[in-house]
Amino acid sequence: MRILIVEDDPKLARQLQRGLAEQGYTARLAFEGHEGLRTARSEPFDVFVLDVMLPGVDGFSLVRRLRASGSVTPILLLTARDTPKTSSWGLRPEPTTI
C-alpha cells in the first residue's frame, strides 16, 4: 500500500512514515500543500494523509482540488483543531466559511 503524507512538521511526518514502514506500508512525504498536490497527481497512491494547516495550499483546499480533478483516493485529515465546527468542516462537500 502506497501512502502520501502531507505534513509540514518534518518530525511528525517522519514518525508517521517510520511507523507505517514498520507495518509494511510505503509512505512518501510532502511538506507543503503545493508539493503534496503535485506528488498526488504524479504518482498512484492508495491513501492520502493530509494535515489541515499546511503552508501554500491548506488541507481542506487540497481535498477540494484532488476531488475536482477526479481523485477518489481515500483521505485522512490530521488536525490539532478540536471544535466540532472546524473538525467537521472538512467533511462538507462544498466549502464554507469557518
Does 98 reside within a domain?
A: no
For the record, the C-alpha cell of 55 comes out as: 503552508
For 79-96, write each residue's pLDDT tens digit: 876 655 554 555 555 544
Count CB-CB contacts under 10 A for residue 31: 17
pLDDT at 80: 78
Q: Is residue 20 a contact partner of residue 3, using CB atoms and an 8 Å limit?
A: yes
The pTM for the full model equals 0.84
* pLDDT tier at 50, thresholds 50, 70, 90: very high
What is the domain-level CATH number for residue 54?
3.40.50.2300
Reply yes or no on whether the pLDDT at 51 is more than 70.
Answer: yes
Element (H, E) at 7: none
Q: Which domain holds residue 60?
A: 2-89
Count CB-CB contacts under 10 A for residue 87: 13
Does 26 reside within a domain?
A: yes
Does 95 reside within a domain?
A: no
Q: How many domains does the chain have?
A: 1
Average pLDDT, whole number, for the chain? 87
